[in-house]
Structure 1
Amino acid sequence: MEASIQRYPWAVLAIRAAAVSLAVCVGAASFRLSFTALADVAVRSHVPPDQAWLWPCTVDGATLLATLGVVVCMSDRGARRFFWAVLIGGLLVSIGGNDLHAVLPPEQELPWMLRAAIGAVAPIAVVVSIHGLTILMRVRRPAAAADQRATTAGQHETVRPRNVAAPAPPHAELSPATTDADNDGRGPDTTQATEAIPDHTDNEPADRGGPVLPYVDIADKVLGIITVKDIDREEVAEVLRMSYEHNLPNRDIGRRLALRHHTVGKIIDASAQVLRNEPLAKVS
């Protein structure tokens, strides 16, 4: 079977086209049947007949919005939970409305409790849809974000973690005054780690200061020592840039990049370990 598929690639295209056609047909037919049932239930709940079509659009529209939100917000656990809740709630309302339409005799009014519940769907859908829209508007486009991070990483910025001391030049010797024993038990001096390092030009050798690494190179090394799900090296490089250049807290970085702050902290700690193991690195 696999050999025949590889031999006839047009068969894969034909199967995909058939699957798309079937999905569209089944979806359109199901929506039409559900639309008719929900509109009838709305009329039984004292909704004017000329506006009854708005109620199934409200229910099924909120369900469709939630479905898209679940797919788009895969990296944001809180947003994904919200959209899952809306999706399940909209599905239950739609199933209940279709069941009522199938069970009740024609033109029979609904009990007052069911009419009250159906009347509450519209205002709830307004709040849910607006909140879902604000969440989707905050989601960054993956292509644009990747292009921006690739452009930033290609500029060979100087990187130095905030908690790692600057390494001494190759010809320098370690002074006894900088040892841990004479630092009142506070650990190694990290004041040099926060000092900015000027960019090295072609006329200025790079071995005068600390390590000079592009963010993507450090990101590759970070991904080699830790495991993070659904994060590529460009996103890791962007985390490092926002941390080292702008000194942003982990929560702010996670909010901007739709990452958990625990994941951001894990990346920063791993990058510090990488740079501790790189006493001197140059960009060619």
Structure 2
Amino acid sequence: MSNRRAITALAAGAAAVTIALTAAAFWLSYEHLHDIAGGNGLSGTRAWAWPATVDLFIVTGELLTLRASLRARIDWWAIALAALGSIGSIALNISGVGAGASVLAYVVAAVPPTAALVAFGALMRQVHEVLDRISDAPAAAPHPQPDTAPQQPAPAAPAPAAPAYPHGALELHLAPMLPASPEVTADAHPSAPAPVAPPAPAADRTDDELIEAARALATTGPLSLRRMQRELGIGQARAQRIRDAVDSTPAPASEEAAS
């Protein structure tokens, strides 16, 4: 229990530090872009609003990426927005230093937006690990409710009546048993089943075969990306594509009837 508490405390501390780093780097980048706008013809409210045209792309992309992570999805459009805003912010911060400056001045200008991008990536990694741990945890089985109804004693079975034979004792005349024929003995003792060939490697299996295998996995527990990679032997990108196909296409009629 103490080990689990320590891991939880470390994860919470890392998340808090990452959020603080993201906020500080974002503020420094925004201030520098404001200074660039003020030195290039904008003043007052316009100088403060101009950096938002760049940094809000980063905020929008990060929020959409976080939403996709909570839904166990990958939103490439959100990732593109965050990357485009981050690259634009880095480029504008560096160009705002001007020509002929020292190398250290360019590094100082590039550090805040770069640190914000890296910190957000670290935060998304922690979110993915938590979601994978939750999806892989087995569902708790319901506790059976005790049966409080009084148990009724089972009725006693009636004793079988003795058979009556009007002509005295019953005599049985049995013919000698014939030896069993080869056909009968062959059917009565079937040969051992032939060994089943192991399934084909994931690289040789088509998407349709992997979709059927993923549907079979979904009947035994949560269909997470980590579980699909482990049990189907495929990579993360292919596991995401297979699970999207499972979610978007209905199950065959035979499987629906069986369920």
For the pair shown, which has the larger CA radius of gyration, 1 or 2? 2
In the superposition, the TM-score normalised over structure 2's length comes to 0.39
